[in-house]
Structures are given as structure tokens and as C-alpha cells.
Structure 1
């Protein structure tokens, strides 16, 4: 039976990017949507973003930054999580709390944010000690996929759109980031992730004749407005990433 749906991830409170992506999904005639987490954290507009998400007929899983909004007090949160938490009310936090860490979509697709067992570990990419971010070895990728029976596996977390085919034919896809085309991190080694353009990203997945087809979409939106908001909220690196796709 044919199956066609869209996958979004890593919105990080960028409601303008989310609105543009949803409009593009509708324009493609797609009704089914999955969201792979990291929805709200960032110095942008968590309140507007969660209002949009709560009104969608979509399937969601939590990301690590979503979990940070739920499992620690505000004084223990990071600079991206604290403002997002402050913008949310109790009903919105309860909605977030009701979302699972992993789930299976229509029996055929496994969904998680990072890896099935750990929401902070890169799956398809490896950070080397010199800060280089590169495609992981296939053996490492396949280790994380052990025990998953679905033919399509979706993950996110790195903000980098990738597709990897396992030796048994299963496909792993990261749709890229809707709302954050660059960031800096310290773990496991200091590194920078940069998408190279300011576009909002998502993926279309289609099952045709028992084979999955993947289309990555790059959507133009008013990224300058979100860059200006990040700048007003004292996040110059994110502002630069939103404006250009590059941290520096």
C-alpha cells in the first residue's frame, strides 16, 4: 500500500520557519506529519510555536531539549531552555509531558530524536577530537539500529539532513532542522554544526513498490526576522546562523 508523509524536526521555537514548512507540506498535498522533537528551546518564540504544534494533527516525539523543559528546575536549565520554559503555561507543559521519547508510526516507521536509547547521542554523525563533524562509520550506525524491525527509521538532533541505507536494506533518515541551521556544542568535543543556508528544512517520505523514497525540501521564509529576534535576545551566534546558515 502506498504511504506518503512529511517529517519535521528541531524547530527550536522558530515559528516563522514552522509556518513556512507547514504551508509547503500542504502545497505538496501531504496530510500526514511526524515531528521528531526539539520543538521549543531557543531564544525565539516558544509560546507561538507550541500553539501551532498543539493544533496540528501530527505524531510527536520528545527531543533532549524538550526533556530539559520537564526534568529540571529553571535555574538548572541552559540558555536556550530557560526562556522557552518561561514562555509556556501549565497546559502546554502538560501537552509536552504527554509525548513519548520514541514511537512507531503506522507500524512501518520508527521515530526517535537522537538514538533509540539516548536523546543526546548523534546517530548518523560523529564528532572527532579536532571538532570535525562527519558521517559515522556504518558499523556504528548499525549498532544503534539493532532490534528495530521497521524498514524506515527517522532521527534528528544534529540538524543535518542525511540518508543512510543499512546493509539489510533499512533506511535511516534525518530530515534536517526546521528552525535552527547552525549551533555550537561542547560534547563530546567542542564543535560547530552549520547547514550552509538559512532555509527551513524537512523531508518527504514515500513508500512506493515496497521501497522508501526520500525528498529533502529547503523552504524560503523570513529568516531575517528570526535573526533579528535572536539578536535582540542576546544570541548573536544563533542570529548569524538564522541569517546565513553559518555560525561565523
Structure 2
């Protein structure tokens, strides 16, 4: 179905045309069943996550992978975990998640250590913690580091080091990275749309129109839901449909997130407020 045809159905459905509404619903179900949504690096930003999940639902997509980076910075680490836990999706842990859990290879600086400790205090059950807090923490601790499908691997970092590193950006890192990839790899960490394959490395706005997969091995970063680093503060995630990847940018209630941060005791809240506003 063409974009023009879909817009026409949307217009008619909004005007009360039940036949058009059903046709639109069926088309979205068809496309959603053939699509994979990939998101990463939520970092405690509930409003951004809710905007992304609502958009995924509106598109009828039921196959969803989250690459980790769930907590640490934003004001709602527990609510983010609860939201992801209640969904039927594949959810991995990232390097910051492992650090919050007291594990992993991350060697944080002083600022990051403060943020990690703050998130742990919000999440780790104490002696008198209720069952819901304990269940949330147990779910968080049990998240896998990688997810494999025929021709596809999903990790937070690198296929061979799931909790560390990121997509390749030179000939040496290409060789080391792609020998662990069968066809397609999704990874987080970078917080901006990226594509890497041998001899080609694309980032940021050059991918605004999407990317058609080519022969050979390809690595993709879906951007960041809750803390973008490409000077675009909107939430970002990726959709894989057949042989094409699209990055979706979404406005969300950023001001609500910033108010929560302002009212919190998150030790890096001043810096984070500035970075969220600027998308850096």
C-alpha cells in the first residue's frame, strides 16, 4: 500500500468510514506481523519509552527487541523496568545494567559511579522490601546478554563481548566484529542511528530516510529511546521490515521528564537536564 493510499484511508477512517478503518487496521496488522522493532538505551526515561511503545503498538508490531541500557540516568528506573517487564518482548541487559547489578566490565568515572549507585539504591531490595520490589530486581538480574535468531544477533555491545564495545568504525574493528556475525547484528551503546559494514560507516542524519540492506554482513544501532546523542532530543528506535531499516523519531513529554529530574535527588540531574534538552 502506498503512503498516499494509507493517508487517504486514515482521513476516511477519521471521518467515520468503518470500511476504511477496517482496511487500515488490516494493512497495519499485515505490515506489523512482518516487522521487527528494535530499541535501546532507555536509561530511566519513562515518557520516552511510553511514546516508543505506543508508536510500536499503533503500527501493529508485535516482535520487539530491547538491547538494554534500561536504567541509570533518568528519573524512573523502576517504572521503566515494570513497563518492559509487562510487555511480551525480548529484553537484554546492557553494560550500565550490569554495573547497577554490581557486575560487568564497566569501569565508571566518578560521575557515572554516582548515577549507578543512585539507580541501584532505587532498585535493589532492602531487608524490608515488598514482593513487587524483589520480583522486579529478580527479573532485572535474569536478563540475558544476547539474543540469537537465524541470521540475526542482538546484543548491547559486541557479539563476542555483549557488555562492552560497540559497532565497528575502522578496518581493524570491522574484521574483529564481523567474524562473529552471520548476517545482521543489532547493538546499542552509541545512542544514535548507525550502520556499519565493511568499508562503510554511516551515522546520524544521513540515515533519516532509512537504509536498504545490501549483501554481506551489516551492524545496526537503533539509536536511543531515552538519551539521544545526535543533537536531536526526540526518542529514537528502529524498524526492520524485509530488507530495509527505518529509524523512527518521536516527540514525547520531555518537560515532564525534566521536571521529575529537577525534583529528584539524582546526583547528575543538572547535567542530564541540559543533555536531554540538547540531545547530546
TM range (shorter): 0.7 to 0.9
Alignment check: 8 A CA contact 2:178 2:217 kept: no
Q: Aligned ranges for residues 192-211 of structure 1 at < 5 Å? A: 194-207=229-242
User: 87, 91, 96: which is aligned to 2:122?
Assistant: 87
Query: How far apart, CA to CA, are the structure 2 residues paired with 1:169 and 1:116?
Result: 17
1:242 aligns with 2:276: yes
Aligned to 2:127: none
Alignment check: 8 A CA contact 1:11 1:40 kept: yes
Aligned to 1:227: 258
Cα distance per residue 1:115-161 (max 9 Å; x no partner): 1233232324xxxxxxxxxxx11441231121322x21000011121
User: 48, 63, 77: which is aligned to 1:17?
Assistant: 48
Q: Aligned to 1:7, what secondary structure does the other structure show?
A: strand
Alignment check: 8 A CA contact 1:228 1:239 kept: no
Alignment check: 8 A CA contact 2:167 2:220 kept: no
Aligned to 1:98: 142
Alignment check: 8 A CA contact 2:43 2:69 kept: yes
State TM-score, norm by structure 1: 0.79
Aligned to 1:145: 178
Q: Aligned to 1:242, what secondary structure does the other structure show?
A: helix
Cα distance per residue 1:174-233 (max 9 Å; x no partner): 00000012xxxxxxxxxxxx32121000000112xxxx2100000100112212323333
User: 151, 155, 179: which is aligned to 2:187?
Assistant: 155
Q: Aligned to 1:169, what secondary structure does the other structure show?
A: coil
Alignment check: 8 A CA contact 1:178 1:201 kept: yes
User: 74, 80, 87: which is aligned to 1:56?
Assistant: 87
Alignment check: 8 A CA contact 1:175 1:202 kept: yes
Deviation at 1:11, TM superposition (A): 0.2
Aligned to 2:220: 173
Alignment check: 8 A CA contact 2:174 2:197 kept: no
Q: Which of the two has greater helix per residue?
A: 2
1:109 aligns with 2:152: yes
Which ranges in structure 2 are unaligned for 5 or more consecutive residues? 1-32, 104-109, 124-132, 200-214
- Alignment RMSD, CA only? 2.0
Query: How far apart, CA to CA, are the structure 1 residues paired with 2:178 and 2:92?
Result: 18
Deviation at 1:245, TM superposition (A): 1.3
Q: Which of the two has greater strand per residue?
A: 1
Alignment check: 8 A CA contact 1:224 1:242 kept: no
Which ranges in structure 1 are unaligned for 5 or more consecutive residues? 125-135, 182-193
Task: Decide which structure has the larger Cα Rg and report it.
Answer: 2
Q: Aligned to 1:49, what secondary structure does the other structure show?
A: helix
